[in-house]
Amino acid sequence: MALVIAGERSGVGKTTVTLTLLASLRRRDRLVQSFKVGPDYIDPMFHQHVTGRACRNLDPVLTSEVYVQQCFARHSQLSEYALVEGVMGLFDGIGHGQEKPKSTDFASTAHIARLLDLPVVLVIDCSRLSGSVAAIAHGYQSFDPRIKIAGVVLNRVGSDRHLSLLKDSLEALQLPILGVLRRQDNITIPDRHLGLVPTAELPELNALIDRLADLGDTCFDWQRLLPLLKSEPLPHFPSSPILREAKARSFSSPVRIAIARDRAFNFYYQDNLDLLQQLGAELVFWSPLEDAGLPKDVQGMYFGGGFPEVFAQQLAENTSVRHAVKTAILKGMPAIAECGGLMYLCEQIIDFEGKSWSMAGVLPTSAVMGGRLTLGYRRAIALQDNLLVKAGTTVYGHEFHRSHLTLTPTQPLFETSRYDCEENMGCEGWGLPANVHASYVHLHWGESGEIPQQFLKECLKVASSGTWI
């Protein structure tokens, strides 16, 4: 047993409700494991800040339905309580399947709830409704009989009179009200062009979490919620063959990988880092913003996504690190660079104000920030053998950025299309020099253990040849 927090649409307060629950549980010294539906990186950062445990993404597009079940079973059984934060509205997913009509809720919160056989708490934004709340709740309750709505949380309730109207309307449905959150002026998480501002940039975050815990202590029906949140063994979900194979194929020689992690680069799936470690890698975390150079004795580099455009001036001013990164790559050190990492390997980042900032200069192109949002799941077919995959391999990833490159690669890594249709999204990704994998497409390696294995093989090969030392 565990619980899914779903919204009737985006923006109703799922994350606030989830963090309030987590903060109150941690204040009670409860051991809680959180999960996030979808490819998002930032919400899981907030979860981890509260719980002290890495949040796990549950995404059947980036991985598979079986992997979602295995991941949930593996991690939920290590804690007393488990909580899953949904994505968008409860039934908002993507098209999937060859039959007509296609399923449109694949990878939705409802899909994950069905896969894991978990009850759902529906968060409803009540700020602009009263009696209509019952129609909304009834619609979600009856739309898919496979989904068990355990109750509702009424968010942004304005007054006692407002609450009374809501309760009266819901009474006929016999649907438990599991929480009531009043309109809060002192609980706001700032956002910007790609969503919430990450935790590392919020100096007042601990004070905010304390206020959420105070709120959680009084706004929820804990007598009903705690049994729903209790984590129980799930023996019917098999263990992951990817993890078993990773352990069997781990490298005998240590491989040290420099992981760029600071305010500019912090978009990583914990499962990816786990796989590297299980294959024998030692992860060395460092900061392209603050450090004077690369960590010593590393054989590879991994630059995740993030917000290099926000810190472009500071990155540009750290010339010693920019030169060290370029020198190491040009001498043959393997490097993975996803989205923000790709931008850092460019010649320049041109920010929203049109100012140009020098970057590592490995790729002969510049990243230009703009208003257009590129967003969505991608099916990507490798056009050539590269650092991570062989030509012809199909991988599934996710794009989410507001930048574009001034030049496209002459020998791109991938031909991409939308996941849910055949619409071609063009070719992208840089694989020159050959020891670089630079792409806007974020990959989760949960179903592709050969990707980190191939990366570490190349790291060992190049290190043993001494070409970059």
What tokens were used for 346? 């460019």
Residue 31: CB atoms within 10 Å: 14
Rounded distance between C-alpha atoms, residue 36 and residue 18, angstroms: 10
Lookup result for tokens 């990243």: 367
With H, G, I as helix, E, B as strand and everything else as coil, classify residue 270: helix
Q: What does the block give as tokens for 181?
A: 């959150």
Return d(Cα 342, Cα 440) in angstroms, integer. Answer: 7
E strands, 131-206, where? 149-157, 177-182, 191-192, 195-196
Indicate if 126 belongs to the active site: no
Angle at 76 between CA 306 and CA 84, to 5 degrees: 55
Contact present, 255 and 456 (Cβ < 8 Å): yes
Going across the sheet that includes 32-37, the strands are 56-58, 32-37, 81-89, 3-7, 120-125, 149-157, 177-182
Task: Please name which of 140, 143, 106, 146 lies closest in space to residue 121, comparing C-alpha atoms.
Answer: 140
Q: Which of 55, 71, 339, 346 is catalytic?
A: 339
Residue 141 and residue 23 in contact, taking contact as beta carbons nearer than 8 Å:
no
- Please state the separation of Cα 237 from the chain's center in Å: 23
Count CB-CB contacts under 10 A for residue 285.
Answer: 12
Q: Tell me if 349 sits within 8 A of 367, measured CB to CB.
A: yes
By CB atoms closer than 10 A (0-12, 13-18, 19+), residue 413 is: buried
Is residue 115 within 8 Å of residue 123, measured between CB atoms?
Answer: no
Pairing status of strand 346-350 against strand 363-382: parallel
Residues annotated as catalytic (active site), given as ranges: 339
